[in-house]
Amino acid sequence: MQTIHYKNAVVKGELQVPGDKSISHRAVMLGSIAEGKTSITGFLNGEDCLRTIDIFEQLGVTIETEGTNVEIESPGILNWTKPTEELYAGNSGTTARLMLGILAGAPVEATMSGDASLSSRPMDRVTIPLRKMGASIEEKSDADLLPLTIKGTKLNGITYKSPVASAQVKSAILFAGLQAEGKTSVHEDTVSRDHTEQMLRYFGANVQTDDTVASIQQGEMLTGRKVHVPGDISSAAFFMVAAGLVPGSSLTLTNVGLNPTRTGIIDVLKRMGLGVDVTDATTENGEPVGTIQLTHRPLQGVEIAGELIPRLIDELPIIALLATQAKGKTIIKDAAELRVKETDRIAAVTNELTKIGANIEATPDGMVIHGLTPLKGGTMDSYGDHRLGMMAGIASLITSDPITIEGAACIDISYPSFFKDLETVTKKSL
């Protein structure tokens, strides 16, 4: 439990948010699949990414972490050792789903498990296509929930039309495709984040992408590389919104990942009226990186739907908070995926923002938020979901009374220095 209040603290200065969670996972995964040495800089030391490291250590990969630097020495996927205990993914959907794809063709047998939240999230979205490829997966329940035991086997390439725009589904299939005979293709209606394709290509795999189709050919053993992880735009989003909430704010966020499959928040904030300038854009290991400058301006409600949704899916809780301070109505739709995240984020965001005075309704696939509404203080539950915990922290910038966050520790999943950074940009003491 943590009680905070930053009422009307102007958000100012410069901040570099921690490394991208999605890219950190993938850097460790590819560095462990590849033979030899991989050096990672800018790694996110969040709980989820540490679970990924633990898992590869159990598979016989040597991994040394010092601050945000990670050194990997791997014998390569064909020489991994059979783990003696369950591979525990904690709260991390990315770890669990991508590992199932990686293990499907690896010469080991292992059981993947997770915490209570992860054990209730759907895994059939990956087990269905992986079984089509020949994967041997045994579940304890009938519903393909964790724990799942997977025994590496010979796989065949498939062409799969994914029923959801999900990078975790696409990535699991592409990782399995790296080991599968022939070609494997994944078709999506709307393209999901493409960090796996970028990282596979950077490590030398034969990956082709064409609009909403990603394909991979069975590969030779990959070799280690140097990887730089840019700052996480999903973490930066909390501070972009902070600058949008408090009049007079002006904030510079440096070294932020700007992969176009992730920058939906920038498009939406601009449409809402916030001053957003992107500069210094460069590319590192296939990933665009740059500086984002935010300037507070009065906001208006917008509609957020369709192909934009996968480009900002994780930012919708914090956008909902911002929408309480925008004139008129903000409509979020086509986002039913929010219901199967760390918690049901449609129900949780609606409940918690209502508690502090927001005018917000849940719909089956989104939310409708009516602004401008003054917010009061109170207790907000994180539901063990890092993005809900941080939404509550940012709300305290504009609430009339303090906010008490129940279960604030879960913020360590993706942003261990969140409160320190909030203090830095508001120059207020906790």
What residues line the site for ligand SPQ (CB under 6 A)? 21-22, 48, 92-94, 166-168, 171, 192-193, 313-314, 337, 341-342, 387, 414
Instruction: Identify which of residues 95 and 324 has a Cβ nearer to ligand SPQ in the complex.
Output: 95
Least separation in angstroms between CB 94 and ligand SPQ: 3
Helix, strand, or coil (residue 269)? helix
| Nearest one of 318, 333, 320 to 394, comparing CA atoms | 318
- How would you label 164-194 residue by residue, b for 16+ Cβ within 10 Å and e otherwise? bbbbbbbbbbbbbbbbbeeebbbebeebbbb
Instruction: Identify which of residues 197 and 314 has a Cβ nearer to ligand SPQ in the complex.
Output: 314
Task: Tell me which H or E stretch contains 174.
Answer: helix 167-179
Report the amino acid identity of residue 145.
L
According to DSSP, the residues that pair with 380 across neighbouring strands are 405
Cis geometry, peptide bond prior to residue 83 (ω within 30 degrees of 0)? no
Instruction: Identify which of residues 109 and 412 has a Cβ nearer to ligand SPQ in the complex.
Output: 412
Going from the C-alpha of 101 to that of each of 114, 125, 222, 240, 293, the distances in angstroms are 16, 11, 17, 34, 38
Pairing type for strands 378-381 and 403-406 reads parallel
Least separation in angstroms between CB 45 and ligand SPQ: 15
Instruction: Identify which of residues 21 and 296 has a Cβ nearer to ligand SPQ in the complex.
Output: 21
Going from the C-alpha of 364 to that of each of 13, 86, 311, the distances in angstroms are 39, 36, 20
The answer to whether 237 and 23 have CB atoms below 8 angstroms apart is no
Residue with tokens 């992969």: 259
DSSP calls for 256-301: EE--TTTTHHHHHHHHHT-EEEEEEEEEETTEEEEEEEEE----B-
Least separation in angstroms between CB 418 and ligand SPQ: 13
Provide the 8-state DSSP code for 18.
Answer: P
User: By beta-carbon distance, which residue lies closest to ligand SPQ?
Assistant: 93
Least separation in angstroms between CB 310 and ligand SPQ: 6
DSSP calls for 102-145: HHTTSS-EEEEE--TTGGGS--HHHHHHHHHTT-EEEESSTT-P
According to DSSP, the residues that pair with 277 across neighbouring strands are 293
The answer to whether 244 and 294 have CB atoms below 8 angstroms apart is yes
Least separation in angstroms between CB 337 and ligand SPQ: 6
Instruction: Identify which of residues 192 and 426 has a Cβ nearer to ligand SPQ in the complex.
Output: 192
Instruction: Identify which of residues 246 and 405 has a Cβ nearer to ligand SPQ in the complex.
Output: 405
Least separation in angstroms between CB 96 and ligand SPQ: 8
Instruction: Identify which of residues 164 and 278 has a Cβ nearer to ligand SPQ in the complex.
Output: 164
Least separation in angstroms between CB 26 and ligand SPQ: 8
State the Cα–Cα distance between residues 122 and 120, nearest whole angstrom. Answer: 7
Helices 93-103 and 124-132: crossing angle in degrees, nearest 10, is 10
Active site residue 334: no
State the Cα–Cα distance between residues 424 and 321, nearest whole angstrom. Answer: 21
Instruction: Identify which of residues 101 and 301 has a Cβ nearer to ligand SPQ in the complex.
Output: 101
Least separation in angstroms between CB 401 and ligand SPQ: 28
| Nearest one of 87, 103, 90 to 33, comparing CA atoms | 103
According to DSSP, the residues that pair with 75 across neighbouring strands are 35
The answer to whether 401 and 327 have CB atoms below 8 angstroms apart is no
* Catalytic choice (20, 48, 314, 385): 314
Instruction: Identify which of residues 169 and 180 has a Cβ nearer to ligand SPQ in the complex.
Output: 169
Residue with tokens 């990969």: 61
Least separation in angstroms between CB 265 and ligand SPQ: 13
Name the token pair of 162. Answer: 């994914």
Residues noted as catalytic? 314
